[in-house]
Amino acid sequence: MSKGYFTFVLHSHLPYVIAHGKWPHGLDWLNEATAETYIPLLDALNKLVDEGIKPKIIIGLTPVLTEQLADKSFKEEFKVYLAQKIEAAQIDEKEFVKEKQEHMILLAADWIKFYKSIHDSFIHKYKEDIVGAFRHLQDTGAIEIITSAATHGYLPLIGDDTFVKAQVRTGVKNYKKHFGKSPKGIWLPECAYRPRYKWAYPLSGFGQPKERAGVEEILHDENIDFFIVDSHLLEGGKPVGVYMDRFKALKTLWESFEKNFDCQSLPAKPRTSNKIYMVSSANGKKPVAVLTRDLKTSLQVWSGEYGYPGDGNYLDFHKKRFPGGLRYWKITTPKSDLGSKMIYWPKDVPQRLEENAAHFAGLVKSTLMDFYNKNNSPGIVVAPFDCELFGHWWFEGPRWLYLVIKGLSQDKDIELATGTEAIERFAPTEIISIPEGSWGEGGFHWIWFNDWTKWTWQSLYEAEAMMKKALADSGAIEDKHGLLKQLAREFLLLQSSDWQFLISTWSARDYAELRFSDHLDRFKRLYSIIEEYLKNNTLSHEDTVFLNDCQKKDACFQEIDIKDFA
């Protein structure tokens, strides 16, 4: 009998960027994530499988990301991107040869080898089908794929349960389309949860407080078995956010928020993230299991102060050589400015990876053994991360994941388990309630709702009212032109929590504001076209051209069902 269980949860997400810019903001985000994270991760997972090890990790692929990875236009653009990266490395190599920089020549050659390997995996190993490669791993029992809200909408602040359901239901249906089965688990965007209570809009002018269903009730209705939350929602205490070390602008925002912040009160009965509970905010009705982030192990990776990715030997994320944008420097120290970064030495990396992986595995083991010795029953360590941390932010991350999983698989006391398998092993029956919150700084909603982003929520709540009216006015009229479906697509894209996040972090603020405004303008014009169409049953040439442009530019979720929004 195992004395404990372990699983990584890797949440993969990008907003819809196809046909919405390329560089520095747009499609190249998807190209970078695929080249640096998704394919290296697939390679690492398949290497483990080839060695007889089933990794049993949980992979969250958001529906909007899955749609993009499956899009033919992305596949063509990605091949062009890889060719450009190979050419950039070759140009660097020639310049280094001229300058007789022997070590830099080797680094440029490594980049050529890296991108050629990614190209080979994409074309030959995965047949240009990233989604299919993940699906195959799930179908063979190596991993579990979970879904998310359709466009990563921030569910606790959406103003009507109908539209929370639409985000979730569209995500579930999209999962079935791509993976051929129903999802058992879901990643709530930003691990953001809201229980049942009499909810009030955070802005005035949108009506009186109203009874809202707990998010878990909506998940239960869609046959979702589990979701993931941050430790402070379960155990209480001060939340430890996951973003501030990566986005300096958050520190400015946090300083003003922290003055009025109170820690989450401790639950009356102590709880532990090393158990699985059932969550219900409706007097025990419609409970759903919850997996909770283990703080101790997660901080070893997330922390900017002492996390593994900050090791001075690893490749630096920020310093790049232009025009090719390739990286040739190591972190050096976490506080080194760009001018003081030292040259990267790949030969120094393997030993540090081995040491970091062994340390993490040891921490998992000690946590599980402590729990077992105290309770005489197995516990679980759940380690959730943004997938893009591994490879994109932390170049060596996929190799570290491989080493950790391989090491833990060889420990007779620890069993690697997917979410569904863990729930089957634990068969949880204890029903609890948890408070509202997220895994962002402060543990609440302030990254997504603050003085910088209030205007977006004003527009979103107005759009909700317009969406309701458009559907009510349309009644049973056939949507033969696809007007209502496109209105729903623009509505979902408008709800993406990415826009508020990018505004708050200043990482791509202008782009986010432009994208939000663009989808809002498209939504409003489609709404006006629908109202006019209902009066005279015709579309003008100008309106037809506009609709066709929307359908071409924002073409995700072809299976969208307008009834899910009514």
Distance, in Å, from the CA atom of 22 to the CA atom of 154, rounded to the nearest integer, reads 25
Distance, in Å, from the CA atom of 365 to the CA atom of 408, rounded to the nearest integer, reads 8
Does residue 86 have a pLDDT over 70? Answer: yes
Beta-bridged to residue 187, according to DSSP, are: 148
Structure tokens at 392: 């994109």
* Coil vs helix vs strand at 244: coil
- Of the pLDDT bands very low, low, confident and very high (cuts 50, 70, 90), residue 334 is confident
Residue 28 annotated to the active site: no
- Of the pLDDT bands very low, low, confident and very high (cuts 50, 70, 90), residue 476 is low
For the four alpha carbons of 477, 482, 483 and 484, in that order, the dihedral sign comes to: positive
Distance, in Å, from the CA atom of 395 to the CA atom of 398, rounded to the nearest integer, reads 8
Does residue 350 have a pLDDT over 80? Answer: yes
Q: Which of 218, 196, 211 is closest to 434 using CA atoms? A: 196
Average pLDDT over residues 409-425: 98
Report the pLDDT value the prediction gives residue 250, as an integer from 0 to 100. Answer: 42
Report the pLDDT value the prediction gives residue 249, as an integer from 0 to 100. Answer: 45
Give the percent of the chain with pLDDT over 90: 88
Residue 190 annotated to the active site: yes
DSSP conformation class of 146: E
Average pLDDT, the chain: 94
* Inter-residue contact 158 to 468 (CB < 8 Å): no
Q: What is the pLDDT of residues 393-411, one digit of tens each?
A: 999 999 999 999 999 999 9
The CATH number of the structural domain formed by 454-565 is 1.20.1430.10
Distance, in Å, from the CA atom of 475 to the CA atom of 530, rounded to the nearest integer, reads 12
Does residue 302 have a pLDDT over 80? Answer: yes
Report the pLDDT value the prediction gives residue 253, as an integer from 0 to 100. Answer: 41
Does residue 375 have a pLDDT over 70? Answer: yes
Average pLDDT over residues 90-108: 98
Average pLDDT over residues 489-517: 97
Q: Which residues are annotated as a binding site for substrate?
A: 293, 310, 439, 498
Report the pLDDT value the prediction gives residue 1, as an integer from 0 to 100. Answer: 74
Q: Which residues are annotated as a binding site?
A: 293, 310, 439, 498
Q: What is the pLDDT of residues 303-317, one digit of tens each?
A: 877 899 999 999 999
Point out the catalytic residue in the list 93, 190, 396, 436: 190
**In the chain, ranges of CATH 1.20.1430.10 domains:** 454-565
**In the chain, ranges of CATH 3.20.110.10 domains:** 4-70+129-202+210-443
140 alpha carbon, distance to own chain's centre = 24
Tokens 């190993």 found at: 125
Average pLDDT over residues 122-141: 99
For the four alpha carbons of 97, 101, 106 and 110, in that order, the dihedral sign comes to: negative
- CA torsion angle 472 478 483 486 (round to 10): 90
Report the pLDDT value the prediction gives residue 264, as an integer from 0 to 100. Answer: 52
Q: What is the pLDDT of residues 510-530, one digit of tens each?
A: 999 999 999 999 999 999 999
Point out the catalytic residue in the list 28, 216, 225, 386: 386
Distance, in Å, from the CA atom of 40 to the CA atom of 10, rounded to the nearest integer, reads 14
DSSP conformation class of 345: -
Does residue 184 have a pLDDT over 70? Answer: yes
Does residue 248 have a pLDDT over 80? Answer: no
* Coil vs helix vs strand at 425: helix
Distance, in Å, from the CA atom of 33 to the CA atom of 21, rounded to the nearest integer, reads 16
Distance, in Å, from the CA atom of 348 to the CA atom of 338, rounded to the nearest integer, reads 20
Average pLDDT over residues 287-300: 96
Structure tokens at 8: 């990584």
Pick the more confident residue, 474 or 36. 36
Neighbours of 519 (CB within 10 A): 26
Report the pLDDT value the prediction gives residue 261, as an integer from 0 to 100. Answer: 41
Q: What is the pLDDT of residues 2-29, one digit of tens each?
A: 999 999 999 999 999 999 999 999 999 9
Neighbours of 549 (CB within 10 A): 12
Does residue 266 have a pLDDT over 80? Answer: no
Does residue 243 have a pLDDT over 90? Answer: no
Q: Which CATH architecture has domain 4-70+129-202+210-443?
A: Alpha-Beta Barrel (3.20)
Q: What is the pLDDT of residues 191-225, one digit of tens each?
A: 999 999 999 999 999 999 999 999 999 999 999 99
Distance, in Å, from the CA atom of 169 to the CA atom of 295, rounded to the nearest integer, reads 31
Pick the more confident residue, 270 or 199. 199
Pick the more confident residue, 124 or 284. 124
* Inter-residue contact 126 to 39 (CB < 8 Å): yes
Q: What is the CA radius of gyration of the chain?
A: 24
Q: What is the pLDDT of residues 277-291, one digit of tens each?
A: 999 999 999 999 999
| Count of helices and strands (H, E) across the chain | 19, 12
* Coil vs helix vs strand at 24: coil
Residues 6+ apart with CB under 8 A from 322: none
* Coil vs helix vs strand at 58: strand
